[in-house]
């Protein structure tokens, strides 16, 4: 098998001592990020980009990129593990995708079965992570090779589809989401135009000639925006911490949760493939499915172990699944993968169909490290869950100013400019007020990243076709993408008009 | 949902869209050999922004749902932290990383919750000196040094 050969190569990269350490460090930080309320996977990844850039500064580019992305991805899926700990022990989800886990997890904890719930979460997360990795191994190359056949018109339409998909499901109002998408695209045009050399929308600020720095915006909007919200709403975890007790689940627990874990993993994985359907959405879906299929429906909401196992598996499956469109098509489907993509671009590596050809070390090293990382997380989480539970008690007094100080350090260390600090503060303020009024942040950051590529493909296509816009509907692949994009936007809108409730990916 | 905010922000975006449109028209470039010049995308996007914010404005005006009561927000804490953050950014270069970070953290800790002064001082100092030492001495990065 070709894929297995590549995987072995990837493993040799992932098992290098430095990368092994990075994967471990990423998983550890990720778990902490998941456990600590007030800091989610997006802000965690954004905050760690400057740290990894520093740690890898002496390495050659490709190696630096590999190690960094291994660490950052570790934070991403590690946070999915950690989020369940707070959900179960204090009834407060550590991040959005663990909302469902609170329903039955906290009830289990109240009945003295916290340990079993936590263990099932860890096992479910592990199984889902592994399933997602296997899917990644076998789907990545065929998908990337297929994507290479797209014409520039097709590539342009695919990006439009990605934007539409994320925007139509983000937040309560499609119009607001699209306003944010458009704003992000406009922001992405700031700077010197690479083709004509004209400075656009820079208003004389020389700091803006190279464009608005993605890292500054991501840290400002996600990390600072979240901190501002926490301070203003006084939203700290205040719940009483429940004792963990015995960690090992009973044989009956394992038997009850095996099938839900499998179902949740697969559901999450396939949902993760679809841009815009992130971890939150798939965990809700998995919970609903389990409730429908269960023989004792009455038990749900009162501490059913299936209600903990399935959503936790689903959110990890989705996190892994979301890596596929990111790596093979260059389309990030969630806020966190958008930030990961920004990080790769910072290292001069563009995710997309060519990634597997041009930088197999990065792609396969990452995939293999995700498998290794999932084992680490399982080992880390089962015995150490009591230690992580202690982390919940970190006083917000130190945590909140600490996050602000790390944001300032991160942005200043990478950009060395006070201008960027103010840009960060400004975007943090804007993000708080916008997000509070249902203007979602993720589409803005996503389109900020995709903007230059969209413009590039558009121009390439137009030069090729002599400015003939009809190519976008004459090229069959491009036409299909555009049609899906239209449907994607139209169907939720029609459903809303007919009074149906549409579940949206909240928060991110 | 806050309809007042929606109205204001729609008007702001509307004006922004018009401004960007006018601005993009002032970009002068020769379009020889380029099918799409640098001003095409900004102009197009600004039109989209104008349309979307106009729709959003209409939706906000026509909406009949009343604003929900503002929940009590901790404006005092927030403003203290925001002002110290702005000062932090302004002073980081003249005063250096260690001093400004230490002061910002100390103010931040005490704003969040008064008391435990010694502990606050120790944590703030350890953070500021620790990050500076590791970043500048070990990883040879650049942070503003002490002013003396």
Residue % of chain B over a pLDDT of 70: 87
CB contact, 8 Å: A239 with chain B?
Answer: no
Q: Answer whether residue B55 is part of any domain.
A: yes
Burial annotation A82-100 (CB, 10 A radius, 16+ → b, else e): bbbbbbbbbbbbbbbbbbb
Residues B79 and B38 in one domain: no
* Chosen domain end from B14, B40, B62: B62
Q: Answer whether residue B110 is part of any domain.
A: yes
Element (H, E) at A200: strand A199-200
Give the residue-averaged pLDDT of A262-276: 87
Q: Answer whether residue B94 is part of any domain.
A: yes
Residues B104 and B125 in one domain: yes
Residue A451 DSSP SS3: helix
Q: What is the pLDDT confidence band of residue A507, given thresholds at 50, 70 and 90? A: very low
Closest approach of chain B CAs to the CA of A437, in angstroms? Answer: 6
Q: Which residues pair with A200 in a beta bridge?
A: A191
**pLDDT of B101 higher than 90:** yes
**What own/partner pairs with CB < 8 Å and gap ≥ 24 does A464-472 have?**
A464/A152, A465/A153, A465/B35, A466/B35, A467/B35, A467/B36, A471/A153, A472/A153, A472/A156, A472/A157
**pLDDT of A504 higher than 60:** no
Of A175-179, A254-258, B37-41, which gets the smallest average pLDDT? B37-41
CB contact, 8 Å: A470 with chain B?
Answer: no
Burial annotation A274-286 (CB, 10 A radius, 16+ → b, else e): bbbbbbbbbbbbb
Specify the higher pLDDT residue, A247 or B113.
B113
- B23 closest CB neighbour out of A182, A201, A400: A201
What was the pLDDT predicted at B115?
81
**Average pLDDT over all residues of chain A:** 85
Q: Answer whether A80's CB lies under 8 Å from A31's CB.
A: no
What was the pLDDT predicted at A508?
40
Range of the domain at B22: 3-62
Delimit the domains of chain A by residue range. Answer: 3-495
- Give me the residues of B, 13-42, that contact A with CB < 8 A: 13, 20, 23-24, 27, 29, 34-39, 41-42
Q: What is the ipTM of this complex?
A: 0.91
Specify the higher pLDDT residue, A127 or B63.
A127
CB contact, 8 Å: B103 with chain A?
Answer: no
Residues B56 and B94 in one domain: no
Taking the alpha carbons at both ends of chain B, their separation in whole angstroms is 52
Say whether B6 and A418 touch across the interface (CB within 8 A): no
Give burial (CB, 10 Å; 0-12/13-18/19+) of A369: buried
| Interface-testing mutation among A38, A235, A398, A450, with chain B (most B C-beta atoms within 10 A) | A398
Q: DSSP assignment of A89-147, as one string? A: HHS--SSGGGHHHHHHHHHHHHTT-HHHHHHHHHHHHHHHHHHHHHHHHHHHHHHHHHH
Q: What is the pLDDT confidence band of residue B33, given thresholds at 50, 70 and 90? A: low
Residue % of chain A over a pLDDT of 90: 18
Q: What is the DSSP letter of A250?
A: P
CB contact, 8 Å: B108 with chain A?
Answer: yes
Give the residue-averaged pLDDT of B122-129: 93
- What are the backbone angles phi and psi of residue A469, rounded to the nearest 5°? -65, -20
Give the residue-averaged pLDDT of A257-282: 85
Q: What is the pLDDT of residues A136-159, one digit of tens each?
A: 888 888 888 888 888 888 888 988
Q: Name, of A93-107, A150-164, A349-363, B117-131, the range with top average pLDDT.
A: B117-131
Q: Answer whether residue B70 is part of any domain.
A: no
Of A5-14, A20-29, A379-388, which gets the smallest average pLDDT? A379-388
Q: What is the DSSP letter of A208?
A: G
Residues B134 and B92 in one domain: yes
Q: Answer whether B124's CB lies under 8 Å from B112's CB.
A: no
Compute the residue count for chain A: 508
Domain count, chain B: 2
What was the pLDDT predicted at A262?
92
Give the residue-averaged pLDDT of A371-397: 83
What was the pLDDT predicted at A450?
86
Q: What is the pLDDT of residues A178-235, one digit of tens each?
A: 999 999 999 998 888 877 777 888 777 777 888 888 889 988 998 899 889 888 887 6
* Chosen domain end from B39, B62, B85: B62
**pLDDT of B128 higher than 90:** yes
Write out the two tokens for B94: 């003249």
R_g of chain A, CA atoms, integer Å: 22
Which residues of chain A make contact with B123, given a CB cutoff of 8 A? Answer: 398
Q: What is the pLDDT of residues A359-377, one digit of tens each?
A: 888 899 899 999 999 999 8
- A198 closest CB neighbour out of B29, B81, B105: B29
**pLDDT of A505 higher than 70:** no
Q: Answer whether residue B88 is part of any domain.
A: yes
Residue A282 DSSP SS3: helix
**pLDDT of B31 higher than 60:** no
Q: Please enumerate in sequence order all residues whose Cβ is within 8 A of that of B146, keeping only pairs 6 or more positions apart, or say none.
A: B96, B98, B99
Q: Answer whether A425's CB lies under 8 Å from B85's CB.
A: yes
Give the residue-averaged pLDDT of A66-94: 85
Q: Which of A53, A131, A133, A49 minimizes the C-alpha distance to A369?
A: A133
- A179 closest CB neighbour out of B13, B42, B123: B13
**pLDDT of B30 higher than 60:** no
Q: Answer whether A215's CB lies under 8 Å from A342's CB.
A: yes
Rounded CA gap, A408 and B88, in Å?
Answer: 9
Residue written as token pair 């007042």: B4
- Give me the residues of B, 40-79, that contact A with CB < 8 A: 41-42, 45-46, 48-49, 52-53, 55-56, 59, 71, 73-75, 77-78
Residue % of chain A over a pLDDT of 70: 95
Write out the two tokens for A56: 């890898």
- CA-angle at A441, arms to A440 and A447, nearest 5°: 110
């Amino acid at each position: 098998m070709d894929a297995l050969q590549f995987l072995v190569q990837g493993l040799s990269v992932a098992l290098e001592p430095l990368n092994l350490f990075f994967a471990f460090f990423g998983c550890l930080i990720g778990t902490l990020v998941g456990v600590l309320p007030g800091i989610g996977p997006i802000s965690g990844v954004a905050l760690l980009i400057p740290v990894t850039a520093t740690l890898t500064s002496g390495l050659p580019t490709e190696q630096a990129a590999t190690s960094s992305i291994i660490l950052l991805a570790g934070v991403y899926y590690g946070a999915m593990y950690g989020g369940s700990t707070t959900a179960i022990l204090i009834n407060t989800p550590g991040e959005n995708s663990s909302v469902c886990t609170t329903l039955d997890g906290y009830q289990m904890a109240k009945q003295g079965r916290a340990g079993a719930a936590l263990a099932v979460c860890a096992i479910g997360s592990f199984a889902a992570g592994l399933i997602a990795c296997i899917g990644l191994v076998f789907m990545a190359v065929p998908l990337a090779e297929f994507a290479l056949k797209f014409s520039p018109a097709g590539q342009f339409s695919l990006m439009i589809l990605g934007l539409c998909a994320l925007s139509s499901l983000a937040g309560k109002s499609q119009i607001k989401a699209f306003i944010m998408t458009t704003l992000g695209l406009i922001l992405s045009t700031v700077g010197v135009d690479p083709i004509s050399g004209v400075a656009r929308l820079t208003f004389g600020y020389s700091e803006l000639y190279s464009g608005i720095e993605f890292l500054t915006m991501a840290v400002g909007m996600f990390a600072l925006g979240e901190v501002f919200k926490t301070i203003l709403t006084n939203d700290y975890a205040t719940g009483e911490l429940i004792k963990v007790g015995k960690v090992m689940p009973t044989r009956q627990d394992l038997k009850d949760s095996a099938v839900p874990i499998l179902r949740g993993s697969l559901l999450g994985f396939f949902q993760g493939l679809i841009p815009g359907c992130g971890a939150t959405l798939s965990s809700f879906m998995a919970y609903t499915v389990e409730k429908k299929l269960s023989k004792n429906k009455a038990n749900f909401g009162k501490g059913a172990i299936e209600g903990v196992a399935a959503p936790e598996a689903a959110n990890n499956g989705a996190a892994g699944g979301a890596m596929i469109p990111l790596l093979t098509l260059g389309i990030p489907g969630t806020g966190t993968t958008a930030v990961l993509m920004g990080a790769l671009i910072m290292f001069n590596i563009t995710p997309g169909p060519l990634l597997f050809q041009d930088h197999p070390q990065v792609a396969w090293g990452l995939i293999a490290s995700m498998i290794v990382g999932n084992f680490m997380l399982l080992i880390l989480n089962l015995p150490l869950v009591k230690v992580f539970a202690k982390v919940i008690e970190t006083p917000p007094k130190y945590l909140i100013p600490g996050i602000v100080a790390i944001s300032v350090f991160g942005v200043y260390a990478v950009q060395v400019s006070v201008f960027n600090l103010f840009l960060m503060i400004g975007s943090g303020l804007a993000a708080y007020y916008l997000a509070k009024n249902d203007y979602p942040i993720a589409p803005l950051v996503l389109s900020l990243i995709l903007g230059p590529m969209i413009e590039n493909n558009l121009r390439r296509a137009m030069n090729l076709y002599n400015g003939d816009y009809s190519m976008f509907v004459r090229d069959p692949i491009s036409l299909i993408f555009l049609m899906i994009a239209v449907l994607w936007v139209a169907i939720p809108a029609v459903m809303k008009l007919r009074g149906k409730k549409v579940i949206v990916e909240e928060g991110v | 949902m806050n309809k007042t905010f929606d109205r204001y922000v729609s008007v702001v975006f509307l004006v922004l869209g018009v401004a960007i449109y006018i601005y993009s028209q002032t970009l002068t470039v020769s379009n020889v050999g380029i099918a799409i010049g640098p001003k095409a995308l900004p102009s197009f996007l600004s039109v989209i922004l104008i349309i979307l914010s106009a729709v959003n404005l209409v939706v906000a005006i026509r909406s009949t749902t009343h604003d929900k009561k503002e929940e009590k927000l901790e404006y005092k804490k927030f403003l203290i932290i925001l002002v110290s953050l702005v000062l932090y950014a302004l002073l980081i270069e003249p005063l250096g990383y260690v001093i400004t970070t230490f002061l910002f953290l100390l103010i931040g800790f005490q704003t969040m919750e008064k008391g435990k002064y010694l502990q606050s001082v120790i944590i703030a100092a350890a953070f500021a000196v620790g990050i500076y030492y590791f970043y500048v001495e070990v990883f040879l990065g650049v942070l503003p040094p002490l002013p003396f």
